[in-house]
Chain A
Amino acid sequence: MNGRVLDVNQRKVWVLQNGSGAPLLYLHGFADVHGVKESWMPFHERLAERASVIAPAHPGCAQTDENNDIDTIDDVVFHYLEVLDALKLTEFDLVGSCVGGWIAAEIAARHPEKIRKLVLIGATGLFVEGALIGDVFMMAQPEYGSSYASLREMLFSGANQADALNMFPDGKGELDDELRRYQMLRFGSRIGFKPPYFYNRPLRNRLHRISSPALIIWGEKDSMVPRTHGETYVRLLPNAQPLKIIDGAGHSVHAEQPETTAKIVLDFLAG
């Protein structure tokens, strides 16, 4: 693990970097590096075999400073523009999962010229009438005193899926993991609680600006972000591949099927 602290406009940003090759910026979600895990998961390690993977932790997540001035997704986008400046990244592949996918789409809509190729995995961000994104905050409140089964069910293909149990165990997990989960929810609540949940209405009318090739990946059994959101991204992004469904996976496809998902991403980036 190569972690370092980046100084961004006098705030600390925690960044992991691994591998060599073309730069790939990875923006994390819940069941993810920084969202739960301190270090890389197999998915990111596969990517790092062919790319230089750079994964900053969102404001308030892992060791990145919290920023009380973040009220909306626009503030997050501006934060990342500053991160890109600090990393001296001008053109790169952008991969985002869940909330990270939303942030990726927002960055790409503002600065399409910076994005070589875009990959969104189970991305939130869109308002699709009649298909609300699931309430991860309520699911994160324990049932029967200590059960996070319904949170696991929302984020994975099932409450008893092995990765789900590993990342979101019942009761009290390892303190540092618990804390990272909490930080991610706290960050998420800033941008994703009002309106409910995790969308920015104007985004869909801005996607037409993103001319770079785009790949949208969805878990077959995503219980958090309805598949119609993936279909909408595909329809509105001018240069998107057909929606790629990962059979058997839930919302966190990169956690549940790292090999398959990484191969699809790498093939797309290489093609």
Chain B
Amino acid sequence: MKPVQLFCWHFMAYPYLNKDFDQKQYSGWVTVPNSLWDNHKARGLYQEYIDQLAYADELGFDGMVLNEHHQNIYGLMPSPNLIAAALTQRTTRGKIVILGNLLPLHMNPMRVAEEYAMLDQMSNGRLIAGFAPGGGPETFNYDVPSANTREKFWEAADLIVRSWTEDGPFAHEGRYFPLRYVNLWPKPLQKPFPPVWIPGSRSASTMAEVAKRGYCYFLSSRSHGGETHRAQQEFAAVLEKHGDRYHPFRFGILMSTYVAETDQRAREECEEGVWYFLKNCLKGHLRREGRQLTYGPGVPYIPAAAWREYLKGYTPGRKLLGDVENWDELDASQSIIVGSPETVTRRIQSLIEKAKVGNLLIQFQLGNMPDHLARKSMKLFAAKVAPVLREESVKVFDKQFAGVDLEPAVEAVH
């Protein structure tokens, strides 16, 4: 079995908020006033962030991860494809993962099919194509009606993959995106098509749709307690039901880390960025303070029966990740793993072993963390943590998945 795949995820937060942001502003999402944008300070910001991602490639990470957000301070990538295009010209080996384009926000899915095909060609077959439906905030950003979002999403995703694999021109007789001439130029480089990753938050229907199509499931939760392990078990069970078998590379998780020479130094160095991230970037998304846009009856995208199930397990006012009040609580959430190389290795190893997960999508730069610290942590991780994780994960996976064949890796045609 191959070793755990380690990716560097960058969200590209807006890092120049004043210290009183949380006190003064109601939200970091959708309605956060863009008068806070400071052109003077922000000049060169994208360059700094792109350089960090290129650095990840130099350090030997297996890939770089981007995603799409609108109108917020959490992620300044309304179009991750633009950043991906820059990375095709700055990097040579790592995968470029876009997780993903928010399909219901695009008027025509062919635009995504075309841009992804371009990126696959421009990167010499390094694209991992993520499709996501978008969540609560994006519903408000682009006025996406909720009730048919999922149906629209899957129609778009299937049309894109069909346009990559089937010779055109053909007519798509769809419910939401009827098109007379589907005839993609260019085609993607990877055959039969670039790997497809789909994020989800443990909904059984998303898992089933992913399994049906043989895609990789990515758990979008930021905390990693027992739920991560349960998500893995649920997805494995769904795969079995579809006559397929789970292996670690069918599954991915998002986590954050900061590594320094010692536990104490790690905490000291990252704490400002971590709290900036938790209190500012997550306000409106994963905080109960202000108005939380991500989940709620105002974005009614799941059927009523599923909402009934959700309500049964829902505790109003429960703490979300951004509501943690102190370092110990944060530590217990297993969302941001901070420490010496030994500490971080041990904790991630245990996560890999428990969650049987082969794709770790790791956020290094958090909130307003300065460039030199993000790079230092990435470098230390690459030098001291990654080699051990790779070596040990092979042993763990070999033991856990003895006899399970990975499907043949999708290779670029050169």
Contacts and interface: CB of A to CB of B under 8 A. Distances in A.
A2 to B, nearest CB: 24
Interface in B130-157: 136, 139-140, 143-148, 151
B409 interface: no
In this complex, which of B145, B288, B308 has the most chain A Cβ atoms within 10 angstroms of its Cβ? B145
Contact of B298 (A66, A141, A172, A196): A141
Interface stretch (A113-121, A177-185, A249-257): A177-185
Contact of B304 (A68, A138, A150, A186): A186
B145 A143 contact: no
B148 A68 contact: yes
Given A137-B298, A195-B143, A143 B290 contact: yes
B45 to A, nearest CB: 29
Interface of A: 60, 66, 68, 71, 136-146, 150, 170-172, 175, 178-179, 181-183, 185-187, 189-190, 193-196
24 contacts: A60-B147, A137-B139, A137-B299, A138-B291, A140-B298, A141-B297, A141-B299, A145-B316, A146-B288, A146-B316, A146-B317, A150-B291, A172-B316, A175-B308, A179-B311, A181-B297, A182-B300, A185-B297, A185-B300, A190-B145, A190-B147, A190-B148, A195-B143, A196-B143
A140 B296 contact: yes
A68 B292 contact: no
Contacts, number: 98
A194 B136 contact: no
B293 interface: yes
A182 B291 contact: no
A141 B296 CA distance: 5
B289 interface: yes
Contacts of B289: 144
A137 B148 CA distance: 16
A193 B144 contact: yes
B314 interface: yes
Contacts of B136: 141
B19 interface: no
B307 interface: yes
A172 B296 CA distance: 12
Nearest to B176: A71
Contacts of A150: 291
B303 interface: yes
B43 interface: no
